[in-house]
Amino acid sequence: MTSQDFEDGLKAMEAAAREAIAYRRGVAAAQTTPVATYREMLAAFDAPLPETPGEPTAIIEELITRATPGVRAATGPRFFGWVIGNSHPTGVAADWLASAWGQNVGNLVSAPAASAIETVAANWLLEILDLPRGASVGYVTGATVANFVCLAAARSEVLTRVGWDVEADGLIGAPPVRVLIGADAHATVFSGLKYLGLGARRVVTVETDALGRMRPSAFERAIQGEGPVIAIAQAGQINTGASDPFDEIAPMAKAAGAWLHVDGAFGLWGRAAPTRAEQLAGVDQADSWAADGHKWLQTPYDCGFAIVRDPEAHRRAMAISASYLPPAQGADREPSAYVPELSRRARGLGTWAMLRQYGRAGIAELVERGCRIARDMAAALAAEPGIELVAEVVLNQFMVRFGDDDAATLATVEQIQADAVAFIGAATWRGRWVMRVSVSSAATTDHDGEITVAAVVAAWRLVKEA
Ligand SMILES: Cc1ncc(COP(=O)(O)O)c(C=O)c1O
């Protein structure tokens, strides 16, 4: 790289920063504008491999011009699709530095500051989520990988207890591991089971109630039996926001010698909110927890946490050693010992920045606000003839149906997306289509909830009259 190339690269960084700030100002004020499709974007970018070098600022400007029509306004105040936080500007700023500093958190020596920041943020996470203070935390890409990492630690520990070294000897010939899981578990947990050779289909499914919570009596029946057992519970069902009855199932899991894992991608943040913490009572009795930063904590993507009560099991499943890597010193937290990868970006910086920005009180307010807006939106929608609230609202997620059949619900969701005042998606629940609302962005206010309710009612009336 010539010094000219370097200077040109810095100018490109400035251009990207200017555009990013202008974009966020615009999105904060705007509605969720319609967005170009993947196919249209493919056509916009389709080009042969460049044969010659390009000019950095021109490349960034080309990227902005071509991509902007296809950038979904997920950071806008009326985005209620999936469970998507806000990529808060403070978290983005910290994340920019993670990239600009070029820190590889593969080990303590290559990234001393980032490693230390991750250690401190890990302690803050345990405190705010009120989980055992000695637990280990791995910074991963999201809850999917967090579930995988936690289940790897679970697999290691339950097999170690019966004298099998799965890290060394693999699963072939190993004692069978029974896996219990609620009937309304998130699809990504099955991915973890698939990666770990535990089999996505080889599970014992535990019956759930109307909110998707495991029934304690069904759990009690399912946990009986011989051999190693892993039980998978959840905090925050994707459609209802409800959490399993940890107070009841955790002692049963303990008595059976099972490892209890909790998928708490977004729901675990309920621990931080005074009026919701009760729903999660007993969750701290589990052995491992998956949570996301890029949902309720509002960090930019990608950011999730694999939290394990027994750091030794966590390290056994994940640690990497090689002669060229510096050995861990004493109690120092080696960042690669808790995640599947060696080289990675310093994603803990966004976590540190968001916890520093909000503090305990700010996060409590954020979670409480999301729950209040969800409750108020659901009540206002249910007051409109033809709109049915599908289940009680207990957290930030809720579902409604329109009219008598799936077609009316799907048509209404399509109309809402076309009107683009707000973005809301559809899902299936108990065999029928629903509109699912997730209130998880820091940008969303009570007023955004009201505007959205009016837009949904208008869309439904149009569909009804058509
Ligand atoms: C309960 C639950 N588990 C796991 C996931 C997967 O999380 P991620 O997309 O961060 O990997 C989600 C995502 O919405 C979720 O809600």
CB 303 within 8 A of CB 339: no
pLDDT of residue 330: 65
| Angle, vertex CA 440, rays to CA 439 and CA 443, nearest 5 | 95
User: What's the CA-to-centroid distance between 139 and ligand 1, angstroms?
Assistant: 15
| Rounded distance between C-alpha atoms, residue 320 and residue 317, angstroms | 9
| Rounded distance between C-alpha atoms, residue 32 and residue 76, angstroms | 7
User: What's the CA-to-centroid distance between 232 and ligand 1, angstroms?
Assistant: 14
pLDDT of residue 163: 97
Give burial (CB, 10 Å; 0-12/13-18/19+) of 270.
buried
Q: What is the mean pLDDT of residues 235-240?
A: 98
* C-alpha closest to that of 144 among 310, 303, 352: 303
Q: What is the mean pLDDT of residues 30-44?
A: 86
Q: Identify any residues that bridge with 423 across adjacent strands, giving them in sequence order.
A: 79
Q: What is the mean pLDDT of residues 227-250?
A: 98
The string of pLDDT tens digits covering residues 245-283 is: 999 999 999 999 999 999 999 999 999 999 999 999 999
- Fold entry, domain 94-354: Aspartate Aminotransferase; domain 2 (3.40.640)
Higher pLDDT: 28 or 182? It is: 182
pLDDT of residue 258: 98
Q: What is the mean pLDDT of residues 387-409?
A: 97
pLDDT of residue 328: 65
Residue 27 has pLDDT above 90, yes or no: no
Place 160 in a pLDDT band, splitting at 50, 70 and 90.
very high
pLDDT of residue 205: 98
Nearest CA to ligand 1 atom 2: 265
Residues with CB under 6 Å of ligand 1 are: 83, 142-144, 186, 188, 234, 236, 238, 263, 265-266, 292, 304
Residue 321 has pLDDT above 80, yes or no: no
User: What's the CA-to-centroid distance between 21 and ligand 1, angstroms?
Assistant: 28
CB 162 within 8 A of CB 175: yes
User: What's the CA-to-centroid distance between 73 and ligand 1, angstroms?
Assistant: 20
The string of pLDDT tens digits covering residues 109-152 is: 999 999 999 999 999 999 999 999 999 999 999 999 999 999 99
Place 327 in a pLDDT band, splitting at 50, 70 and 90.
low
Nearest CA to ligand 1 atom 14: 83
What is the share, in percent, of the chain residues with pLDDT greater than 70? 97
| Rounded distance between C-alpha atoms, residue 83 and residue 444, angstroms | 13
pLDDT of residue 35: 86
pLDDT of residue 320: 81
What mean pLDDT, rounded, does the chain reach?
95
Residue 329 has pLDDT above 70, yes or no: no
CA–CA distance from 444 to each of 74, 150, 326, 412, 452 (Å)? 11, 32, 45, 22, 11
Phi-psi region of 312 (alpha: psi -120 to 50; beta: other; left: phi over 0): alpha
Q: Which two tokens stand for residue 96?
A: 């920019």
